[in-house]
Amino acid sequence: MIKATEEKQEEQKHLDHVMNLIKTKEKDLKKSIKTVEGEARELNSHFFDDVKLDYDGYSTSMETALSIHQQQQLLSEREHDWQHSVKQLATIERLEKSPYFARVDFKENDQAEPETIYIGLGSFADENDHFLIYDWRAPISSIYYDGKLGEVSYNSPEGKITVDMTKKRQFMIKDGKIVNMFDTNESIGDQMLLEVLSEKSSTQMKSIVTTIQQEQNKIIRNTSAELLFVQGAAGSGKTSAILQRIAFLLYRYRGNLTSSDVIMFSPNQLFNDYIKNVLPEMGEQNMVQMTYWQFVSRRLPGMQVENLFKQFEDQTADTATSQFKDSVNFFNLVTRYAKHLNQRGVIFKNIYFRDKKKPYFAKDKIQEIYYSFNQNYKLANRIDATREELIKMLNRKIAPEVRKSWVSQAIESLSKKQLNELYDRPDQEFASEAEEEKFLGRKIVFKALQPVFEKIRHNNFINMRAQYLSFLRAVPKMTDLSKWQIDETTWAKHVEEVKDSFRNHDIHMNDVSAYLYLYDLLTGRRANFEMRYVFIDEIQDYTPFQLAYLKYNFPRAKFTMLGDLNQAIFTKDESRSLLKQISSLFDPKKTDVVQLTKSYRSTKEITDFTKQILRQGEKIEAFNRQGPKPAIWGRENDSEAIKALQGILQNNDQQKFTTAIITKDLASAKFVHEELAKMGQKTNLIATANQRLVAGDLVVPSYLAKGLEFDAVIMWDASKKTYHKLDETQLVYTITSRAMYKLDLVYTGEKSPLLPSDGKTYDEK
Ligand SMILES: Nc1ncnc2c1ncn2[C@@H]1O[C@H](COP(=O)(O)OP(=O)(O)OP(=O)(O)O)[C@@H](O)[C@H]1O
């Protein structure tokens, strides 16, 4: 005990020493930032004094130019210094709150004296460049996360290095004082993790750098895989691992990689809101974030792409057809179909101008041009050449158009102001009236033709909808549909349905990617070669087709995909073949698969309960944190159920828990929200993915609760009536696994057979 106190005092002394240095550094930095700002202001204000401007001539003299250049260079040097200092200050300020969280001692070989390093959120060195704190992402820091005492290895830029780790110590520091410290032999001691996990949540996700687990560390520091696939149980830290991985990559490749080279596809907007603080907390900027829906629909402004709400509420589609259209095989069919378009089959549209009956450019003519180029032309060149030719033809049409009567009529009806706007200069002079009319006529025609130019530039002479339908019609000739249990009549009927929805400007999620892919192939739209890393969270809700399309869009990127096949709420059982299909897209030698089986989100009681929902015996280990057993409340009717709900809510509020009431769909979310309001119980209804996550109790439909977590969850209407189909198992699992500490389930009538039978019951019937 005495030893422990002494050690703590020693550590406190070291901490005081580091804190002092940090404070001094902070002062210095603030001072130097002020000085630089002052100098820049000074430079700016004297800018024109020092620069000898030569007002006599029109052109700037050589001397003036040089002088401006020098001045600018000084300014930009100052700016560089300033930026550097500001960045350093931000790190220092972060370190000041808690300089480090761990210490490791290690020996590089038998003879050497052990070295001691401290690990924190950023690096910090004294003026002799002696590192007092190592960034958690530095190569050596890896041993803290990775191994037990004894021999451990880490990857450094020079290769693998093995050391003998002799001590691993964790600290909890608050306001410059060591609150707690423990020595451990485990990767990251459970004690520390327990302390961290017991802290109350907020509506925002936090970084986990102090307690990253060994398996998670593998995901975070993987730099070799082209595809890193992570399968992990609910709450196993997949999302956390991605975010720390991004921070790691930005550090590891700093100077070469910025946050704009990283894109993350997330399940919905709410989720983006939920995670937005994590990277800034680690001193990094957020990456580009998007939902798949945003990714596709921003390219189709004239169409409504089926959104999450519709997708969830209307799951009537024929499953055989969906399975086929969602597959990589279907993706390959689009590719094959496009190849064949090089010989024939592209469908064109007339282009009109003024006369809505007689085309300005007839589709037959466009087709003739398109196929007039020789066999060596690829689709992309063919369309470029066609566009060029059409623009040329359009330019030739200007002069004859000017002579038409509508133009002279237009000139006559111009007001003085409109006329002035057409002249190049207000006092513009012309040799004759005819000259002036010709000048104005050209201007008017040119302006009127702009929409035609635009149509050509945007490839609007291709009838994309008809083209896609023609592809669908060709499908039975290209593949044997019976292998997919689809007969030709069903397929033909399906094509008609797609046609009808196009007429209403609607496009389904399982058409949109194929539609865009075909468009890309046809028009040679360039893929994004700059993106370096693509992260996809909740992979189980993507179809193989969508993933193939993302791969096509980001050909140079490394992919990290994370998901839990047990939480597939859109693709349901289809997700089981997902992994197989994805792996066909990547080189198996460059694919790494990591499994996370331990769940950190929920108490042992909740994890043990939720894992029984899954029937296929998935490996999920509960983390040993205690809490109340899930409670199931059966009630006679809705009004009794709402009363029970209010009781639970009030109880949760007393314990200061944030509660989410999760319903199956939006209609029941609205119902619960209103009924509670009638009883004076205030909740926030989350109805769309674009809403902000606010503090307080929430009512959320299941499909918007993806990826989120709450202190307490109440599953509304856990009845047989609402959840009985076997393929709804994943949905029930997703809902119940959002709870961190307390889980209640309320139902009327019969309890859903998908739920396990244990849990406290409060049936009152
Ligand atoms: N190593 C860790 N140390 C501390 N907390 C952790 C750790 N790993 C995960 N957690 C916590 O566990 C919770 C669940 O993590 P996260 O949301 O990343 O899991 P997930 O696998 O993405 O879950 P889901 O698939 O259910 O959405 C979060 O509160 C996270 O902070």
Q: How confident is the model at residue 633 (pLDDT cuts 50, 70, 90)?
A: very high
590 contacts: CB under 8 Å, gap ≥ 6: 224, 225, 226, 227
pLDDT at 475: 95
Same domain membership, residue 679 and residue 578: no
Task: Give the percent of the chain with pLDDT over 90.
Answer: 35
pLDDT for 309: 67
User: d(Cα 678, Cα 665) in Å, to the nearest integer?
Assistant: 20
Mean pLDDT computed over 361-373: 89
pLDDT at 54: 45
Q: How high is the pLDDT of residue 700?
A: 93
Q: Can you tell me the mean pLDDT for 449-453?
A: 90
Range of 49-53, 87-91, 708-712 with top mean pLDDT: 708-712
Q: What is the CATH number of the domain that holds 245?
A: 3.40.50.300
Residue 288 lies in a domain: yes
Which residue, 433, 458, 483, sits at the end of a domain? 458
Q: Cα(708) to centroid of ligand 1, in Å?
A: 10
Which DSSP helix (H) or strand (E) runs through 265? Answer: strand 262-265
Per-residue pLDDT at 188: 55
Ligand 1 centroid from CA 656, angstroms: 21
Residue 182 has pLDDT above 60, yes or no: yes
Could you tell me which residue, 573 or 690, shows the higher pLDDT? 690
pLDDT at 215: 87
Q: Where are the alpha helices (DSSP H) in 423-577?
A: 433-448, 450-457, 464-478, 488-503, 509-523, 544-553
Q: What is the mean pLDDT of residues 473-477?
A: 95
- Confidence band of 617 (pLDDT split at 50, 70, 90): low
Instruction: Give long-range contacts, CB 8 A cutoff, 24+ apart: 29-36.
Output: 29/85, 29/88, 29/89, 29/92, 30/89, 32/81, 32/85, 33/82, 33/85, 33/86, 33/89, 36/78, 36/81, 36/82, 36/85
Beta bridge partners of 621: 598
711 Cα: distance to centroid of ligand 1 (angstroms): 13
Please count the other Cβ atoms lying within 10 Å of the Cβ belonging to residue 436.
Answer: 16
Whether ligand 1 lies within 6 angstroms of the CB of 563 is answered as no
Least confident of 107-111, 604-608, 645-649, 680-684: 107-111
Closest-lying ligand 1 atom to the alpha carbon of residue 738: 26
By CB neighbour count within 10 A (0-12 exposed, 13-18 middle, 19+ buried), where does 96 fall?
Answer: middle
CA 533 to ligand 1 center in whole angstroms = 22
What is the predicted pLDDT for the residue at 2?
A: 52
- Same domain for 659 and 579, yes or no, is no
Q: Is 706 labeled as ligand-binding?
A: no
Please tell me the distance from the alpha carbon of residue 204 to that of residue 75, in angstroms, as a whole number.
40
Q: Examine the domain organization and report whether 183 and 35 are in the same domain.
A: yes
Q: Which residue has the higher pLDDT, 171 or 79?
A: 171
Question: For residue 570, what pLDDT band results from cuts at 50, 70 and 90?
Answer: low
Closest C-alpha residue for ligand 1 atom 1: 212
Reported as a pLDDT band with limits 50, 70 and 90, residue 57 is very low
pLDDT of amino acid 255: 83
Range with the poorest average pLDDT among 199-203, 234-238, 352-356, 586-590: 199-203
Q: Does 481 score more than 90 pLDDT?
A: yes
Does the structure show a pLDDT above 90 at 418? no
Report percent pLDDT > 70 for the chain.
Answer: 88
Tell me which H or E stretch contains 96: helix 62-97
By mean pLDDT, which of 167-181, 555-569, 642-656, 699-713 is the weakest? Answer: 555-569
One domain, residues 3 and 120: yes
The reply to whether 510 falls in a domain is no
Look at ligand 1, atom 24, and give the residue with the nearest C-alpha.
234
Together in a domain, 141 and 15? yes
Which residues are bridge partners to 153 per DSSP? 162
Q: How far apart are CA 542 and CA 563, in angstroms?
A: 10
Cα–Cα–Cα angle for 465, 468, 472, nearest 5°?
135
What's the confidence (pLDDT) of residue 64?
A: 61
The residue-averaged pLDDT of 597-623 equals 83
Backbone dihedral angles phi then psi of residue 638, each to the nearest 5 degrees: -60, -40
Give the C-alpha separation, 539 to 576, whole Å: 11
Is 600's C-beta closer than 6 angstroms to any atom of ligand 1?
yes
User: Does residue 69 fall inside a structural domain?
Assistant: yes
Tally of domains in the chain: 4
Averaged pLDDT of the chain = 85
- 576 and 655 in a single domain? The answer is no
Q: Note whether 186 and 226 are same-domain residues.
A: no
Q: What is the pLDDT of residues 85-107, one digit of tens each?
A: 788 888 888 888 889 999 999 99
pTM above 0.90, yes or no: no
Return the higher-pLDDT residue of 352 and 763. Answer: 352
Q: Where does a domain end: 424, 458, 492?
A: 458
Q: Give residue-wise pLDDT tens across range 465-474.
A: 999 999 999 9
Output the pLDDT for position 52.
47
> How, if at all, do strands 739-748 and 760-761 pair?
unpaired
Query: Cα(235) to centroid of ligand 1, in Å?
Result: 5
Residues 67 and 1 in one domain: yes
Residue 55 pLDDT: 45
The span from the CA of 305 to the CA of 75, in Å, is 49
- At 365, list the tokens: 């003519």
Q: How far apart are alpha carbons 310 and 291 in whole angstroms?
A: 16
User: Does 208 score more than 90 pLDDT?
Assistant: no
Mean pLDDT within 113-142? 90
Over residues 524-544, the pLDDT tens digits come to: 887 888 899 999 998 888 889
Please, what's the largest Cα pairwise distance for the chain?
Answer: 107
| Most ligand 1 atoms within 8 A of CB, residue of 601, 603, 741 to mutate | 601
In a domain, 202, yes or no: no
CA atoms within 13 A on the CB side of 300: 26
Q: Quote the DSSP letter at residue 702.
A: G
Q: Which domain holds residue 178?
A: 1-191
State whether 591 and 633 are in the same domain.
no
Q: What is the mean pLDDT of residues 706-714?
A: 89
Distance 204 CA to ligand 1 centre (A): 12
Annotation-wise, does 239 bind a ligand?
Answer: yes
Dig out the tokens for 345 from the structure.
Answer: 């089959």
Average pLDDT over residues 140-157: 86
CA of 647 to the centre of ligand 1 (A): 29
Residue 237 Cβ inside 6 Å of ligand 1? The answer reads yes
Distance CA 466, CA 495 (A): 11
Greatest mean pLDDT among 191-205, 394-408, 473-487 lies in 473-487
The finding on whether 232 has its CB within 6 A of some atom of ligand 1 is: yes
Same-domain pairing of 19 and 98: yes
The token pair that represents 488 in the structure block: 């030709």
Sign of the alpha-carbon torsion through 4, 7, 11, 13: positive
Does the C-beta of 541 come closer than 6 Å to ligand 1? no
- Min mean pLDDT across 72-86, 162-176, 286-300, 688-702 is at 72-86
Cβ–ligand 1 contact at 275 (below 6 Å): no
Quote the pLDDT of residue 482.
Answer: 92
Report the nearest atom of ligand 1 relative to the CA of 212: 1
pLDDT higher than threshold 90 for residue 426: no
Q: Is 370's C-beta closer than 6 angstroms to any atom of ligand 1? A: no
Dist. CA 134 → ligand 1 center (Å): 25
3-state secondary structure of 741: strand
Q: Which of 413, 434, 458 is the last residue of a domain?
A: 458
Flag whether 343 is in a domain.
Answer: no
Nearest residue to 655 (alpha-carbon basis) of 715, 740, 720: 740
Same domain, 67 and 124: yes
Under 8 Å between Cβ of 610 and 733? yes
pLDDT of res. 189: 55
Confidence of residue 206 (pLDDT cuts 50, 70, 90): confident
Could you tell me if residue 38 is inside a domain?
yes
Flag whether 488 is in a domain: no
| C-alpha count within 13 angstroms, C-beta hemisphere, residue 668 | 18
One domain for residues 60 and 185: yes
233 is in an annotated binding site: yes
In-domain check, residue 273: yes
> Is the model's pLDDT at 44 over the cut of 70?
no
With 60 as the cut, is the pLDDT of residue 49 above it? no
Q: Is 235 annotated as a binding residue?
A: yes
| CA 461 vs CA 265, 397, 472, 648: distances in Å | 32, 18, 20, 61
pLDDT at 316 over 70: no
Calpha distance 36→42 (Å, rounded): 10
